[in-house]
Amino acid sequence: MQFADSFKYRWQFGSLFFTILTACLICTNRLSWHILTTPLLTAFLISAPTSLLPGIIRIVVQIVVGEIVVAVCLVDAYCQIYLKASISPHIFSVISQTNLSEASEFLSTFIGPNVFFQWRIIGLLLVGILFPLSYIPAVKNKIGTRLLRFFPRGRRIRIVVAILLMVCLVVELPASVRFLQFFRSGANPDFVESLIFRNYHQDMPTPLHRLAYSWQTTSVSMRAMGMLRANTYGATIDKTSHRSPHIVLVIGESFNKHHSSLYGYSLPTTPLQQRRMEKGELFPFTDVVTPWNITSNAILHLFAVGSDDSDGTLANRILFPILFRRAGYEVTFFSNQYRIKGFFSGATSEAGNFFLSDRDMSDSLFSYRNSRFSQRDMGIVRQLSEYYAKKTVTPFTLDIIHLKGQHFDYSLRYPSEESFFSVEDYADRGLDRQSVLTVMHYDNATRYNDRVLDSLLLFYESMESIVVFISDHGEEIYDNLPVQGRLFQRPDKFQARNEYEVPMWIWCSQRYFEVHPEIIASIKDATSRPLMSDNIPQLLLYLADINSRWVLEEQNVLSPSYRKSRRIIGGEVDYDNIIEKNHCN
């Protein structure tokens, strides 16, 4: 039987074809050749094979396939209308891990009568209702007779359809090959994260493509987290001398290094850090970058450590706090951003889940974890003080403190009565008033953050303690680019400077100076070495003198054996190459 030789054959998949095509086009926000050709090709590739099925089986399969496609498009349309984003890995991950009770609560809360006043929802519901009716013989014959006037039988229609399909295939072949390769490759978790991170799903032409992509990325992410979890639970140590009894890791947020007067900024945003540096107790590191400019990715890499036989992917690493617990350290985590969130646990960062939100993982990594947020970071300092006041200080501690820092909205990150800078301080920057206010709030938040950090150091002054501070990533604050925030795209030289270069310093108490002069000397020697934040676990393990197969001397910045490795930012860009080219220009 030749294609389109009769109306009967055309009808065997024509109804499904037009249903899929219409539903996909309803979810389209913009027009382009890509947006038009992909739904045409997709609708044909899904519907045509169903015509090979016999009788009633074909009808049932086509109705089921058509209604599933319409349902997927309804979800995509709803997300676009109410969540301001199409189907994405994050949304897919949340949906896939939501139980019946949570789903019913969501439906009762977010789906009401106003849904039926949205043209996309109305259009898709009509398509979903009319599609199965088209299989009723009376309806089919009536509609079919009219369609024949527009789609003549015979050779001409075969030629037109063949040409149209060939054009669609030629236009879509490169993108289709890349799409299929993504599935066949098994996908490296870091590569997957970089695609999610750049909102790659937004370039997908149909809800079906976005759903398939989201399913694949979430699957890859969850497999990687499963391996990371298994590796972490099975990690062991050989021995330790507890060289540093009290180690503190402080993680800042959205801290643009070039807005810190400790690093030469023109306004006094970090006077307390400068004062401690001048006293010789605080040592700034000058060449540190983060692999990601998004918090969840950056912290995951900050926590993950590999051994000498790891292949570099997250799936073959462990989370370093487990080694401290194995060594007898009490490990606490005070965060002003992350809580344990039930079903938001399991996979990695941008796929919609995060290891710090997983209760079982959290219980394994930490001896204690705070359960409440504070409006500003000084509240975290108070929570830390309250915790220590209620218990006897154990001999060996690792405190991990995660601040909200200079996270947007900057004006909320500091008390208004502690505002130090005014718009007059930025008169020479050539910015409009709104931009000036943004920069002013950011610098005031940075100065407040300076006081928070100093309060933490005051708390640890009486102990034999060493504090490592590093920010998760930087921020654009109308410096080299006319924007604020972060740009989720392939980093260029300006983003490398403002979003990926991060401040880092090490502070030691007076008692620590007295007991560990050799470590102080190694810190002084290392401050100008190029470093990436994912090497921080090796530094901390060295400070505790923990020996394990996960310890790599060449990745410890304080070691004479330290060897700089490639510093890849944003998942694909060599930071040092960007900087060298920038200097050459």
Highest mean pLDDT range out of 39-43, 76-80, 310-314, 404-408?
404-408
Contact 140, 112 (CB under 8 A): no
For the cut 60, the answer to whether the pLDDT of residue 152 exceeds it is: no
| Residue 181 vs residue 136, higher pLDDT | 136
| Residue 339 vs residue 491, higher pLDDT | 491
Shortest CA distance to 395 belongs to which of 547, 237, 243, 548?
243
| Residue 349 vs residue 461, higher pLDDT | 461
- Mean pLDDT throughout 199-210? 75
Q: How far apart are CA 37 and CA 48, in angstroms?
A: 16
Determine the straight-line distance between the first and last CA of the chain, rounded to whole angstroms: 66
pLDDT level of residue 79 (50, 70, 90 thresholds): confident
For the cut 90, the answer to whether the pLDDT of residue 528 exceeds it is: yes
pLDDT level of residue 133 (50, 70, 90 thresholds): confident
Q: How far apart are CA 106 and CA 312, in angstroms?
A: 39
pLDDT level of residue 195 (50, 70, 90 thresholds): low
According to the model, what pLDDT value does residue 343 have? 36
Q: How far apart are CA 33 and CA 44, in angstroms?
A: 17
pLDDT level of residue 217 (50, 70, 90 thresholds): confident
Q: How far apart are CA 428 and CA 204, in angstroms?
A: 44
- Mean pLDDT throughout 334-362? 64
430 φψ region: left (φ > 0), alpha (ψ -120 to 50), beta (else):
left
For the cut 80, the answer to whether the pLDDT of residue 254 exceeds it is: yes
Highest mean pLDDT range out of 75-79, 90-94, 257-261?
257-261
Highest mean pLDDT range out of 16-25, 113-122, 370-379, 516-525?
516-525
According to the model, what pLDDT value does residue 32 have? 65
CA dihedral (319, 322, 327, 330) positive or negative? positive
| Residue 153 vs residue 416, higher pLDDT | 416
According to the model, what pLDDT value does residue 584 have? 44
According to the model, what pLDDT value does residue 61 have? 95
Shortest CA distance to 93 belongs to which of 303, 340, 354?
354
Q: How far apart are CA 129 and CA 74, in angstroms?
A: 13
How far CA 27 is from CA of 36, 71, 90, 200, in Å, comes to 12, 12, 19, 17
For the cut 50, the answer to whether the pLDDT of residue 388 exceeds it is: yes
pLDDT level of residue 127 (50, 70, 90 thresholds): very high
Q: Which residues contact 118 (CB under 8 A, 6 or more apart)?
A: 77, 81
- Mean pLDDT throughout 16-39? 83
pLDDT level of residue 212 (50, 70, 90 thresholds): confident
pLDDT level of residue 1 (50, 70, 90 thresholds): very low
For the cut 90, the answer to whether the pLDDT of residue 201 exceeds it is: no
Residue whose entry in the numeric block shows the structure tokens 């979903």: 128
According to the model, what pLDDT value does residue 239 have? 96
pTM flag (> 0.85): no
For the cut 60, the answer to whether the pLDDT of residue 351 exceeds it is: no
**3-state secondary structure at position 465:** strand
According to the model, what pLDDT value does residue 224 have? 79
Instruction: Tell me the per-residue pLDDT of 442-468, one tens digit each, with 9 for 90 and over.
Output: 999 999 999 999 999 999 999 999 999
**Segments of the chain assigned to CATH 3.40.720.10:** 244-337+373-418+453-584
Helices (H), 152-294: 155-184, 189-197, 207-234, 271-278
Q: How far apart are CA 534 and CA 19, in angstroms?
A: 49
Q: How far apart are CA 353 and CA 436, in angstroms?
A: 36
Contacts for 258-262: CB closer than 8 Å, 24+ residues apart: 258/474, 258/479, 258/497, 258/498, 258/501, 259/442, 259/443, 259/446, 259/477, 260/446, 260/503, 262/503, 262/505
According to the model, what pLDDT value does residue 344 have? 38
Tokens of 491: 């980093």
Shortest CA distance to 559 belongs to which of 549, 548, 545, 569?
545
Q: Name the DSSP letter for residue 558.
A: T
| Residue 297 vs residue 471, higher pLDDT | 471
Tokens of 137: 């013989």
Q: For the domain 244-337+373-418+453-584, what is the CATH code?
A: 3.40.720.10
Instruction: Tell me the per-residue pLDDT of 530-543, one tens digit each, with 9 for 90 and over.
Output: 999 999 999 999 99
Q: How far apart are CA 556 and CA 173, in angstroms?
A: 47
According to the model, what pLDDT value does residue 436 have? 97
Highest mean pLDDT range out of 19-33, 187-201, 323-337?
323-337
pLDDT level of residue 198 (50, 70, 90 thresholds): low
Highest mean pLDDT range out of 47-51, 114-118, 370-374, 495-499?
495-499
According to the model, what pLDDT value does residue 44 have? 87
What kind and span of H or E run contains 469?
strand 465-471
According to the model, what pLDDT value does residue 9 have? 45
For 37-71, b where at least 16 C-beta lie within 10 A, e where not — what string?
Answer: bbbbbbbbebbbebbeeeeeebbeebbebbbebbe
| Residue 312 vs residue 501, higher pLDDT | 501
Pick from 57-71, 328-342, 517-531: least confident? 328-342
Q: Name the DSSP letter for residue 416.
A: G
Instruction: Tell me the per-residue pLDDT of 396-431, one tens digit each, with 9 for 90 and over.
Output: 999 999 999 999 899 999 999 999 999 999 999 999
pLDDT level of residue 55 (50, 70, 90 thresholds): confident
| Residue 455 vs residue 140, higher pLDDT | 455
Instruction: Tell me the per-residue pLDDT of 175-187, one tens digit each, with 9 for 90 and over.
Output: 666 677 667 656 6
229 φψ region: left (φ > 0), alpha (ψ -120 to 50), beta (else):
alpha
For the cut 70, the answer to whether the pLDDT of residue 110 exceeds it is: no
For the chain, give the percent of residues with pLDDT over 90: 55
According to the model, what pLDDT value does residue 473 have? 96
Contact 91, 351 (CB under 8 A): no
Q: How far apart are CA 470 and CA 43, in angstroms?
A: 51
According to the model, what pLDDT value does residue 451 have? 98
Mean pLDDT of the chain: 85
Q: How far apart are CA 171 and CA 36, in angstroms?
A: 10
How far CA 495 is from CA of 199, 443, 483, 490, in Å, comes to 17, 19, 11, 9
CA dihedral (431, 434, 436, 442) positive or negative? negative
According to the model, what pLDDT value does residue 336 have? 93
Length of the chain: 585
For the cut 60, the answer to whether the pLDDT of residue 162 exceeds it is: yes
Q: Which residues contact 508 (CB under 8 A, 6 or more apart)?
A: 281, 465, 466, 467, 516, 519, 520, 523
Give the bridge partners for 23, in sequence order.
none
Contact 491, 570 (CB under 8 A): yes
